[in-house]
Structure 1
Amino acid sequence: MGDLGGDEWAMVVRKGNQFMVNDQPFYVNGFNTYWLMVFAVDQSTRGKVSEVFQQASSVGLSVCRTWAFNDGQWRALQKSPAVYDEEVFKALDFVISEAKKHKIRLILSLTNNWEAYGGKAQYVKWGKAAGLNVSSDDDFFSDPTLKSYYKAHKILTRVNTFTNVTYKDDPTIFAWELMNEPRCLSDPTGDRLQAWIKEMALYVKSIDSRHLLEIGLEGFYGPSTPDRAQFNPNTFATQVGTDFIRNHQAFGIDFASVHIYADSWISKTISDKHIQFTKTWMQAHMDDAEKTLGMPVIFGEFGVSAKDQGFNTSFRDTFMNTVYRAILDSTKKGGSGGGTLVWQLFPDGTDYMDDGYAIVLSKSPSTSNIMSLQSRRLMLFNSLCSTKCHWSCKKKNALETFLYHEEL
């Protein structure tokens, strides 16, 4: 068989609990920059999109998660259900074409649980304006008309004006995400959200069966697994209408998503508890993804805010090392840890967008080095090992040395 090498830009697929590209493993070291589409609309800020991809690529990051929605707000992509601003759509086209130039793949999120960029609250407003009898933002998950609005979002079938490739055929897209951090507080049993996930996963797959699909969950354990609730950061997390195991068993979901925010879930004051929580939280989800779900898990957001009491960059570096090491330990065993996406990477000159979590590589040399080292470790593993290997081969010793000795 001819060598495809790493040159062919092929679709990422899943085999069991691993991601694969061209029959090679694909472990992810990536990042979030949610505002790329909005920045790409204006010529004055469009250059920042290329800049962040260039900087991410310089430390070996291979996947970016970003918003493919902006519902009814300033610079809206959807001005009203299925009515688009073509200039904004072209901006998203640009983001995708630019990502490919820098060999970065995208996880595209389709709407928001929160009000930023519209999200479910905006869908409910549209419903009210159309005379629907909807009162709660959670009606988004069950009202038939609102569900039809969500299904009408024509992202999957869009033809990119820069590359002429239809989104659903573009390997630059790593995966679709149903929603950023869905929660349905009005139904703590989880039935309402579960029904929505099942319906929308099937719907997305009916249009695009080739791309991977994930939900966008934070990873809280719910009523279906009372024995796992001990791993939740607090008791409230059990009651937000999500259910990590059950949700990910919905047909059509290809990998699990988990977020890590010890500083907003446990305490705003930095402490060793954050590190301990992060270790057990990650381990529990990697075990479940491997043993119960049989799929990879991506830690789709993790970060620590500079606004936290007691924050310093050395704590951030310790936190990131903890997250990265947990993934490496899973990788080493051929486990389900598929990768991580830091929240969030910004280029210089975008400080006014910073929510406290932004990492500007040029201002954070130590953090930049940690990211770069993780990328090199994962890339080495991706390029040397086939699925069957799991490090039992001759390459193992060389890898062991590189993976676990910081000075290399």
Structure 2
Amino acid sequence: MTDQPRTTGRRTLIAAAALGLAATPLLGGTASAARALGGSDDRTTGDGRSFVTARDGELRLAGRRFRFGGTNCYYLHQQSHYMIDAVLNDAAAMGLTVIRAWAFADGAGHSYRALQPAPFSYDEAAFDSLDYAVHKAGQLGLRLVLPLVNNWPDYGGMQQYVSWFLSLSDDSYGDGVHHDRFYTDANCRKAYRAWAKHVIQRRNRFTGLRYHEDPTVMAWELANEPRCRSDKSGATLLGWVREMSAYVKSLAPRQLLAVGDEGFYGRADAADYPYSDYEGSDWLKLTALPAVDYGTVHVYPQNWGEITGNGPGSNATDWGTRWITDHVADGRALGKPVVVEEFGLQIDAGRDIPDTAARDAAYRAWTGAALDSGAAGDQFWLLTSRVDDGSFYPDYDGHRIVWDSDQANPTRTTAQLFAAHARAMADSAR
């Protein structure tokens, strides 16, 4: 373990993506927890569409087990209808059924179009892209997972809340002292709750439904990759998640709720960084909370120092396989489904993955582990498609996957692998 473990390159590169491609939007728990909050095990809308539910350690849809292969595409909330159509049509063509995308853009004066320019102030015109993405996903039969804030400063994030109320403008993660005030400051918590309520209860201009009424939204997530490095015990993050999970669940009792964390185990005696308490996050305790419907897991062994010679695995592929199976087994013991909601590898000869074939082999091992161990679903990072000029979205972080039959597409075989895996996950639930 290094003194300063690498965070994912996505958090800095996404900001560059927003700068270059953000378009101006067009105007125009458990079963018992669900019942306690007013939901039911078989939740349907007036038009007969069913919400995905969690029961007995599984996700369920219309009374049957639900398993999925899916992906992430963070930029849906910022881009043109053409770009949204392009990537969601590709996802549907691949047989992917769940897409994770951001539902936040905090703070005015940045390269992106802010959904929340200031605390308790919301730009309704800026919601056009997110509204359309939910509408389009529903037309295609896709489900969405929507995090409500970012741990990282991309699109504002927790540091923006801290800057608003505490005049602490340093956006470096550092030891987390400034960043972590997000969890404890009363005004930050109040603004976050107001934001969650606004998004969850607002009416989509395209569907006519409030977000909490729409089964297209499979799940809300409290945050993307929340960490609290200043409190190694995990108590600060656990307290915040306990409060906010109950609150968000009360706003959207028919939809699922997840934390959005990476799966760090928070063990004080562990030398291996993701199993240790370095980030102040205890996955078992977070996942066990009554309002949390399923556990989330991210897999980035390269970024976490899990390469040959480090960590318990012989290489990044083996380490990631163990990480997945450990969490699925622990989730089963908790009675909670587990979703491997982000995973990725960069092609780098110095990091065990010298070429596309090696990366495909690792992805095949990881998706196979998710399938065989009983994970409810998995979502690779990340699927992208065409931008407004017809070219492909740039590969900012080395994780881009493109669904395109062109022989020149270097990720063609990888996309086919994920499409076949999505079919296998769906078939296994029948």
Number of residue pairs matched by the alignment: 360
Alpha-carbon separation, structure 2, partners of 1:152 and 1:164: 22
Which residue in 2 is equivalent to 1:319? 362
Which residue in 1 is equivalent to 2:371? 328
Which residue in 2 is equivalent to 1:257? 296
Q: Are 1:151 and 2:189 counterparts?
A: no
Offset at residue 320 of structure 1 (A): 1.2
Question: Deviations for 1:199-229, whole angstroms, at most 9, x for unmatched residues?
Answer: 00111112111111000111011148x5xx4
Q: Which moved more, 1:351-360 or 1:111-120?
A: 351-360
Q: Are 1:277 and 2:319 counterparts?
A: yes
Which residue in 1 is equivalent to 2:265? 221
- Runs (4+) of structure 1 exceeding 4 A deviation are 232-235, 267-272
Offset at residue 306 of structure 1 (A): 3.5
Which residue in 2 is equivalent to 1:376? 423
Relative distance call for 1:311 and 1:70 in structure 2 (3 A) is farther
Comparing both structures, which one devotes a greater share of its residues to helix? Answer: 1
Q: Which moved more, 1:141-150 or 1:202-211?
A: 202-211
Which secondary structure state, in structure 1, belongs to the residue aligned with residue 82 of structure 2? Answer: helix
Which residue in 1 is equivalent to 2:344? 303
Aligned residue identity for 1:365: R
Which residue in 2 is equivalent to 1:394? none
Aligned residue identity for 2:85: S
Which secondary structure state, in structure 2, belongs to the residue aligned with residue 299 of structure 1? Answer: strand
Offset at residue 368 of structure 1 (A): 2.0
Judge conservation of contact 1:269–1:308 (CA < 8 Å) in 2: no
Offset at residue 128 of structure 1 (A): 2.8
Which residue in 1 is equivalent to 2:230? 186
Aligned residue among 243, 248, 251 for 2:282: 243
Question: Deviations for 1:289-316, whole angstroms, at most 9, x for unmatched residues?
Answer: 001x111000110011245645311112
Offset at residue 163 of structure 1 (A): 0.5
Q: Which moved more, 1:363-372 or 1:165-174?
A: 363-372
Relative distance call for 1:307 and 1:75 in structure 2 (3 A) is farther
Relative distance call for 1:308 and 1:92 in structure 2 (3 A) is farther
Which residue in 1 is equivalent to 2:413? 366
TM-score normalised according to structure 1 size: 0.83
Alpha-carbon separation, structure 1, partners of 2:104 and 2:414: 30
Which residue in 2 is equivalent to 1:12? 52
Judge conservation of contact 1:185–1:240 (CA < 8 Å) in 2: yes
Aligned residue among 71, 85, 107 for 1:50: 85
Q: Are 1:92 and 2:118 counterparts?
A: no
Which residue in 2 is equivalent to 1:60? 95
Q: Which moved more, 1:341-350 or 1:142-151?
A: 341-350
Which secondary structure state, in structure 1, belongs to the residue aligned with residue 326 of structure 2? Answer: helix
Judge conservation of contact 1:220–1:242 (CA < 8 Å) in 2: yes
Alpha-carbon separation, structure 2, partners of 1:371 and 1:93: 27
Q: Are 1:200 and 2:247 counterparts?
A: no
Alpha-carbon separation, structure 2, partners of 1:245 and 1:52: 34
Aligned residue identity for 2:324: M
Give aligned-pair identity as a percent. 34
Which residue in 1 is equivalent to 2:335? 294
Structure 2: runs of 5+ lacking an equivalent? 1-43, 169-175
Q: Are 1:139 and 2:181 counterparts?
A: yes
Judge conservation of contact 1:220–1:243 (CA < 8 Å) in 2: yes
Which residue in 1 is equivalent to 2:399? 357
Relative distance call for 1:98 and 1:269 in structure 2 (3 A) is farther
Question: Deviations for 1:71-126, whole angstroms, at most 9, x for unmatched residues?
Answer: 11431110011211222212211010011112110000100011111100000111
Alpha-carbon separation, structure 2, partners of 1:306 and 1:92: 32
Q: Are 1:209 and 2:253 counterparts?
A: yes
